């Protein structure tokens, strides 16, 4: 089979089988540990380039797709445990969040196995060389396809490992973050192939092939640095600047939904920091995700809404804040299947995790509904197809099963007789490259992020989500103002450099200058052209592996 030996454990003596099992466990666990160490808050991402190498060597020892599945699952079970262990919110009070986190940590590793199984099949049917060439395309294509459905959880994309080294990642303004995934897996293969061939005695260290591989590897490592140096040496061309204030109220995410304070008391607590920062004359103020933890636009909260509206008018500083927004559907035919019905009425309603922009002198706020929701912890996936789960599964804290927004809203902010396009992604939406690029393409000159990372304590979770925002800034050359309830709040420049980073669990406010950029990057204009290309190439490799054996002589 074209030089594809494997170890058949059933033919080994008991001692040999135990030894082989220990070797396989060691290789799988090594991949899992290296994978986990590649992600924030570990500030390098270097292990990403070699994390899959032990697993590829392990696949060399396996003769069946079922075996590849089992051992790959073990590798990524370890990797997931080392990166998203915090997702269950063990220090919190919501049993649903704990249970959902355990489910994610057990199921999510399954999603890393398909490209490795396909790699194994191609290797068995067409040989090692074809499989090695296919691997970067298979992995990148699968990561991209996996981030598209409603069930997606693109937290552990290989691209997300490189956010600390801005001197390596500027090329994603052309390719998007999936260009980083392709680059990482390409370097993985450039390391794995010569190592394997040398260990098997097929190549000599001082040979032309080794020199060629070494030269390609050096170019792959050096060219992104050269490109980044050239790009970052050219000052960003901003049409204007925006002075943005960020309010970090540091409110316990479990307590704020409770009945301990009245809605008016909750509002006054938030407005305290708003007033203190307003003295520095910002052009815009940000409050975090669901900072207002009640349905303030509903008639029952008219007093609170009129008070806040009058206060913003009086202070004169626009306010962008997160809040739950209830939408009523008078015509049941227009309501999503997951919409709840008001008893003894045809009216249906949904709550949306939303952001609104309140401008002084404007009666009606501009509203955006969150469109990318965290599976299980914010919404049951495919709830419109399975509406009976609406009441069967509900959280113990906050609002259960947010509505799925389909907004394309870019906030239009009046500033010195100019209109500024500003978009505030909400928490988890940070993880979707082409989704964010769509708002830059529709006129957002700067990005905001409003989030509530306090569910996960002082863990790696807040650091990871903050760092992933770096990629959205670089892809679109847009500055970002990140406002987090409990931290980490910060400003990120169009090259991905993080500024004025706040500490976790600190009640504070910061003000920064955000450049406004109208130019669109290649990625902003053309989106996911590269991963689409890898899907096509991966499809050709798969097709070739299917038909090639029938043409052997």
Mean pLDDT along residues 10-37: 88
Q: State how far the Cα of 515 lies from the Cα of 523, in Å rounded to an integer.
A: 19
Q: Give, as one character, the DSSP assignment of residue 501.
A: P
Phi, psi of 43, rounded to the nearest 5 degrees: -90, 35
Mean pLDDT along residues 255-266: 80
Mean pLDDT along residues 345-359: 90
Mean pLDDT along residues 353-378: 89
Rg (CA), the chain: 26
Q: State how far the Cα of 215 lies from the Cα of 287, in Å rounded to an integer.
A: 50
Question: What's the 3-state SS for 326-349?
Answer: EEEECCHHHCCCCCEECCCCCCEE
pLDDT, residue 3, reads 61
Q: State how far the Cα of 183 lies from the Cα of 216, in Å rounded to an integer.
A: 12
Q: State how far the Cα of 502 lies from the Cα of 509, in Å rounded to an integer.
A: 9
| pLDDT bucket at 1, cuts 50 / 70 / 90 | very low
| Cβ partners under 8 Å of residue 153, min gap 6 | 104, 108, 374, 375
pTM above 0.85, yes or no: yes
Could you list the beta-strand ranges (E) of 370-444. 411-415, 418-426
41: preceding bond cis by omega (within 30 degrees): yes
pLDDT, residue 336, reads 82
Which tens digit of pLDDT belongs to each residue from 94-109? 676 777 778 888 989 9
- Residue 147 in this model has a pLDDT that exceeds 60: yes
List domains and CATH numbers for the chain. Answer: 9-233+529-551 (no CATH), 240-518 (3.60.110.10)
pLDDT, residue 94, reads 67
pLDDT, residue 90, reads 61
Which tens digit of pLDDT belongs to each residue from 485-494? 998 999 999 9
pLDDT, residue 101, reads 78
- Residue 6 in this model has a pLDDT that exceeds 70: no
Q: Which of 316-330, 443-457, 469-483, 535-549 has the highest mean pLDDT?
A: 469-483
Q: State how far the Cα of 296 lies from the Cα of 52, in Å rounded to an integer.
A: 49
Q: State how far the Cα of 194 lies from the Cα of 199, in Å rounded to an integer.
A: 8
- Of 237, 222, 228, 134, nearest to 172 by C-alpha is 228
- Please list the alpha-helical segments (H only) found in 425-515: 433-441, 460-476
Helix (H, G, I), strand (E, B) or coil at 171: coil
Comparison of pLDDT for 92 and 278, the residue scoring more: 278
Q: State how far the Cα of 140 lies from the Cα of 80, in Å rounded to an integer.
A: 19
478: tokens are: 């847009």
- Residue 245 in this model has a pLDDT that exceeds 90: yes
- Residue 91 in this model has a pLDDT that exceeds 70: no
pLDDT, residue 367, reads 95
- Residue 4 in this model has a pLDDT that exceeds 60: no
pLDDT, residue 2, reads 55
Mean pLDDT along residues 193-206: 92
Q: What is the torsion angle, in degrees rounded to the nearest 10, for the CA atoms of residue 11, residue 16, residue 21 and residue 26? A: -140
Phi, psi of 425, rounded to the nearest 5 degrees: -70, 150
Q: Give, as one character, the DSSP assignment of residue 422.
A: E
- Lowest mean pLDDT across 5-19, 133-147, 173-187: 5-19
| Cβ partners under 8 Å of residue 400, min gap 6 | 393, 394
Q: Give, as one character, the DSSP assignment of residue 375.
A: B
- Residue 113 in this model has a pLDDT that exceeds 50: yes
Which tens digit of pLDDT belongs to each residue from 381-430? 777 777 767 666 665 556 667 888 888 899 999 987 789 999 999 998 99
Of how many residues is the chain composed? 553
pLDDT, residue 30, reads 98
28: tokens are: 């799988």
| pLDDT bucket at 54, cuts 50 / 70 / 90 | very high
Which tens digit of pLDDT belongs to each residue from 209-221? 999 999 999 999 9
With a pLDDT cut of 90, the percent of the chain lying above it is: 67
The angle subtended at Cα 166 by Cα 517 and Cα 241, nearest 5°, is 20
Q: What is the torsion angle, in degrees rounded to the nearest 10, for the CA atoms of residue 311, residue 314, residue 317 and residue 319? A: 20
CB 409 within 8 A of CB 402: no
């Amino acid at each position: 089979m074209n030089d594809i030996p494997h170890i058949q454990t059933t033919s080994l003596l008991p001692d040999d089988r135990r030894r082989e099992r220990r070797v396989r466990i060691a290789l799988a666990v090594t991949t899992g540990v290296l994978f986990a160490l590649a992600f924030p808050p570990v500030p390098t991402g270097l292990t990403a380039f070699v994390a899959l190498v032990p697993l590829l060597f392990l696949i060399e020892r396996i003769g069946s797709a079922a075996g590849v599945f089992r051992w790959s699952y073990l590798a990524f079970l370890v990797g997931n445990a080392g990166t998203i262990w915090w997702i269950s919110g063990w220090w919190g009070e919501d049993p649903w969040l704990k249970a959902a986190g355990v489910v994610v940590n057990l199921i999510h590793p399954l999603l890393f196995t398909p490209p490795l199984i396909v790699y194994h099949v191609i290797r068995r049917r067409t040989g090692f060389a074809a499989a090695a060439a296919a691997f970067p395309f298979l992995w990148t294509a699968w990561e991209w396809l996996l981030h598209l459905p409603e069930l997606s959880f693109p937290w552990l994309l290989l691209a997300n490992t490189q956010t600390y080294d801005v001197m390596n990642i500027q090329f994603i303004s052309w390719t998007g973050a999936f260009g980083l995934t392709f680059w990482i897996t390409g370097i993985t293969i450039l390391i794995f192939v010569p190592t394997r061939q040398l260990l098997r005695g097929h190549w000599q260290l001082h040979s032309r092939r080794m020199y060629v591989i070494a030269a390609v590897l050096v170019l792959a490592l050096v060219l992104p640095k050269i490109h980044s140096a050239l790009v970052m040496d050219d000052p960003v061309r901003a049409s204007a600047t925006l002075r943005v204030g960020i309010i970090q109220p540091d409110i316990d995410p479990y307590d704020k939904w409770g009945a301990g304070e009245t809605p008016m008391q909750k509002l006054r607590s938030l407005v305290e920091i708003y007033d203190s920062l307003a003295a520095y004359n910002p052009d815009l103020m940000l409050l975090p995700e669901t900072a207002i933890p009640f349905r303030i636009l509903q008639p029952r909260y008219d007093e609170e809404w009129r008070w806040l509206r009058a206060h913003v008018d009086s202070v004169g500083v626009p306010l962008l804040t997160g809040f739950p927004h209830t939408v009523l559907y008078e015509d049941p035919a227009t309501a999503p299947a997951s919409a709840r019905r008001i008893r003894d009425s045809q009216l249906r309603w949904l709550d949306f995790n939303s952001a609104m922009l309140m401008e002084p002198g404007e009666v009606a706020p501009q509203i955006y509904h969150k469109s990318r929701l965290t599976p299980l912890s914010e919404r049951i996936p495919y709830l419109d197809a399975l509406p009976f789960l609406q009441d069967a599964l509900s959280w113990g804290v906050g609002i259960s099963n947010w509505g799925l927004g389909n907004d394309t809203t870019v906030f239009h902010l009046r500033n010195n007789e100019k209109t500024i396009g500003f978009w505030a992604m909400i928490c988890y939406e940070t993880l979707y490259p082409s989704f964010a690029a769509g708002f830059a393409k529709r006129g957002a000159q700067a990005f905001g992020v409003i989030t509530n990372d306090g569910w996960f304590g002082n863990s790696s979770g807040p650091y990871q989500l903050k760092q992933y925002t770096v990629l959205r800034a670089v892809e679109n050359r847009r500055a970002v103002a990140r406002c987090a309830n409990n931290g980490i709040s910060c400003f990120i420049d169009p090259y991905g450099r993080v500024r004025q980073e706040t500490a976790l669990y600190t009640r504070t406010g910061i003000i920064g200058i955000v450049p406004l950029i109208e130019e669109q990057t290649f990625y902003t204009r053309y989106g996911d052209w590269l991963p689409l290309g890898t899907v096509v190439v991966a499809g050709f490799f798969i097709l070739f592996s299917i038909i090639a054996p029938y043409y052997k002589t």
